[in-house]
C-alpha cells in the first residue's frame, strides 16, 4: 500500500513561471516531510524539508507548504529555471516506527521550457 | 568531501546467480540505508544500519537478501539467488545525527536479472 502519492507523473512549465508539485499522504503518523530532486543516472538530492509543526518552509526559490488536515503538501518553485528540469520525489517519515525510513512517492517529472 | 559511492554502477546477471552490491557512505556518517526502486514504482526502504548494527530491516523483501556493514564503514548487499523480480535500481544513503538528518544518496546500482 502506497502511503505517499504523487498523482501527476509529469509537469511542463515555462521558464520564469511558477512550478507547483503536489503530494498526498495517508499515514497520520508521518511527522517529517521532504522533497528530493533527481537527475538521470544520479541519486536523489535533498531539496527542502518541513516538520509537521509548521505549515510552510522556504529556501530561496523553493517553498514547501503542508496542509495536515488535508494530508497534502506541495512544492513551489519560483521562478522556474531550465536547470530545475528533473524528477521530484516527495518523501515522509513515520515517528511511530524508527522514524529513519523514508517513504517515497513515485515522483513527478518536471520539464521547464525556455 | 566524497559523497556516497556505490559500485558497480550496473550489474547484469542470470537468474539464480549471486550478486553483491557495495556502498561506501560519507565518512563519519553512522547511519546507512539501502533503498530499491523497481521500474515504475516508488523508491522503497530496505534497511537501516547504525554503525555496524541493523536498526531496522523491515523493508527487506525475503531471506535471499543479506546486508552487512563490517566495522561500521562500508556496507554490502548480497542477493542470493537472484530472481527476475529483483531487477531495479538499488540506492544507498547515509546520514549523521538523528532521524531528521539529511540522507545523502549514492547514484545507485542498476541490477538486471535475466
Å from B82 to nearest chain A CA? 23
Chain B contact set for A103 (CB, 8 A):
45
Please tell me the total count of domains within chain B: 1
**Cβ–Cβ below 8 Å for B99 and A49:** no
The pLDDT assigned to A25 comes to 97
The pLDDT assigned to A79 comes to 98
- What is the domain extent for residue B13? 5-96+107-113
| Mean pLDDT across B25-49 | 95
Domain contains B102: no
Domain contains B52: yes
Sign of CA dihedral B11, B5, A32, A46: negative
Cα distances (angstroms) measured from residue A79 to each of A44, A55, A60, B3, B51: 22, 21, 10, 29, 41
Reported as a pLDDT band with limits 50, 70 and 90, residue A4 is: very high
- What is the domain extent for residue A54? 4-113
Is pLDDT at A95 greater than 90 in this prediction? no
| Mean pLDDT across B35-44 | 93
| Mean pLDDT across A9-27 | 97
Structure confidence by residue, pLDDT tens digits, A78-88: 999 999 999 99
Please tell me the total count of domains within chain A: 1
Q: Tell me, what CATH number does A79's domain have?
A: 2.60.40.10
Structure confidence by residue, pLDDT tens digits, B9-22: 999 999 999 999 99
* Mean of all residue pLDDT scores within chain A: 96
Q: Tell me, what CATH number does B16's domain have?
A: 2.60.40.10
**What are the grid coordinates assigned to A50, written together?**
518541513
* Mean of all residue pLDDT scores within chain B: 95
Q: Chain A 58-87, CB below 8 Å of chain B: which residues?
A: none
Domain contains B20: yes
Amino acid at each position: 500500500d502506497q502511503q505517499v502519492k504523487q498523482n501527476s507523473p509529469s509537469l511542463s512549465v515555462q521558464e520564469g513561471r511558477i512550478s507547483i508539485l503536489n503530494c498526498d499522504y495517508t499515514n497520520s503518523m508521518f511527522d517529517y516531510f521532504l522533497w528530493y530532486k533527481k537527475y538521470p543516472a544520479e541519486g536523489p538530492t535533498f531539496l527542502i524539508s518541513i516538520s509537521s509543526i509548521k505549515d510552510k518552509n522556504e529556501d530561496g526559490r523553493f517553498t514547501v507548504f503542508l496542509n495536515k488536515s488535508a494530508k497534502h503538501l506541495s512544492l513551489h518553485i519560483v521562478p522556474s529555471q531550465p536547470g530545475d528540469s528533473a524528477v521530484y520525489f516527495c518523501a515522509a517519515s513515520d515517528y511511530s516506527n524508527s522514524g529513519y525510513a523514508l517513504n517515497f512517492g513515485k515522483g513527478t517529472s518536471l520539464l521547464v521550457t525556455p | 568531501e566524497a559523497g556516497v559511492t556505490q559500485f558497480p554502477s550496473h550489474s547484469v546477471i542470470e537468474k539464480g546467480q549471486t550478486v553483491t552490491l557495495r556502498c561506501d557512505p560519507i565518512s563519519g556518517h553512522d547511519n546507512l540505508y539501502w533503498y530499491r526502486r523497481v521500474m515504475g514504482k516508488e523508491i522503497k526502504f530496505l534497511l537501516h544500519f547504525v554503525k555496524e548494527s541493523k536498526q531496522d530491516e523491515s523493508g527487506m523483501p525475503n531471506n535471499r537478501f543479506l546486508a552487512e556493514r563490517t566495522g561500521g564503514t562500508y556496507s554490502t548487499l548480497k542477493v542470493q539467488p537472484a530472481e527476475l523480480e529483483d531487477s531495479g535500481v538499488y540506492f544507498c544513503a547515509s546520514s549523521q545525527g538523528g532521524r531528521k538528518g539529511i540522507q545523502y544518496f549514492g547514484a545507485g546500482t542498476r541490477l538486471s536479472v535475466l
